[in-house]
Amino acid sequence: MLSLSDTRVIDLSLPIEPGVASEPWPADIERFDHETGADLLADDLHDLGIEDVTGEDFPDGMGLAWEEVQAITHTGTHLDAPYHYGPTVGNEPAKTIEDVPIEWCCGDAVVLDFTWKESGTEITPDELDAQLADLDHSLSPDEIVLIHTGADELWGTPEYLTDFPGMSAAATNHLTEQGVRVIGTDAYGFDKPFAEMGRRYVETENPEELWPAHFAGREVEYCQIEKMANLDALPRKTNVPLVTTPVAIEGASAGWVRPVALFERKA
């Protein structure tokens, strides 16, 4: 039996960073240092009717540090709920993030290599099957599928927003039809890059060029993890024990998550 003391934990997440060039809507983080924290805690006590406390009364004049974060729920590594794609799935209300079953987010994952795939292109069902065949692996219902593009190496640069392949609607459907509930990617987005979708729409006037992989979730319920990292650090590509539970935010389309893979620590 695997115990935590024998476990190697691999972090598969990216941080929430202020002003980073890899986010079109980066977070804003206001930081309160320990001295400011002492003054603010003293103010809290004043509001409770306890007047004779100042920031200088705290040990060394220091209270508690904290931060105030303003960010969309899709900043940093996050899990998209079915509600992100549309208000309903079929004829049923789409789940918001707090209603996504925890069981969907914990389980064995398989990592499919698309580092060879050209930026701006779409992954097809046949390409998914070819990668599974290379691994001699058959998907099981509720297995988590992770798409490795290598785009996380561009984190911190504007190219992170533009240089990656995306899933097609057909590829997304191909996985969900096999019982897959959660699909992850180490790229900025699940679909092809924004500019490429826009270019194709202008060229074809076909609305199906706009976020097609996302909108596949209007027909079959699934979640996606975006902005993962370090998939190349995993010691194996199949039967990867993964925990990727999101923060529960009432009525939200996504929740921040820090996915971790758990492996036996080598002796």
- Residues 81-96 pLDDT 10s: 999 999 999 889 999 9
**Average confidence (pLDDT) over 7-31:** 96
pLDDT at 267: 59
The phi and psi torsions of 134 (rounded to 5 degrees) equal -60, -30
How many C-beta neighbours within 10 Å does residue 136 have? 7
- Band (pLDDT 50/70/90 cuts) for residue 5 is confident
Counting Cβ atoms within 10 Å, is residue 142 exposed (0-12), middle (13-18) or buried (19+)? Answer: middle
pLDDT at 3: 67
CA distances from 191 to 45, 86, 93, 180, 184 (A): 50, 16, 23, 17, 12
Counting Cβ atoms within 10 Å, is residue 16 exposed (0-12), middle (13-18) or buried (19+)? Answer: middle
Domain ranges within the chain, ordered by starting residue: 28-70, 78-264
256: helix, strand or coil: strand
Stated pTM of the model: 0.94
pLDDT digits (tens, 9 = 90+) for 34-89: 999 999 999 999 999 999 999 999 999 999 999 999 999 999 999 999 999 999 99
What sections of 155-193 are H helices per DSSP? 169-176
CA-derived radius of gyration, the chain: 21
C-alpha angle with apex 264: 260 to 267, nearest 5 degrees?
A: 135
**Average confidence (pLDDT) over 168-176:** 98
How many Cα atoms are found within 13 Å in the side-chain-facing hemisphere of 49? 0
Nearest Cα to Cα of residue 76 among 150, 12, 148, 149: 12
pLDDT at 2: 60
CA distance 27 to 6: 36
Cβ contact 66:37 at 8 Å: yes
Has residue 245 got a pLDDT over 90? yes
Q: Say which residue the tokens 């996915």 belong to.
A: 259
What sections of 108-233 are H helices per DSSP? 125-134, 169-176, 194-204, 212-215
Total number of residues shown for the chain: 267
Cβ contact 72:85 at 8 Å: no
DSSP structural state of residue 218: G
Q: What is the largest CA-CA distance in the chain?
A: 71
CA distances from 68 to 32, 33, 109, 246 (A): 8, 12, 34, 20
Amino acid at 192: K
pLDDT at 265: 83
Has residue 137 got a pLDDT over 70? yes
Amino acid at 262: L
The CATH classification number of 78-264 equals: 3.50.30.50
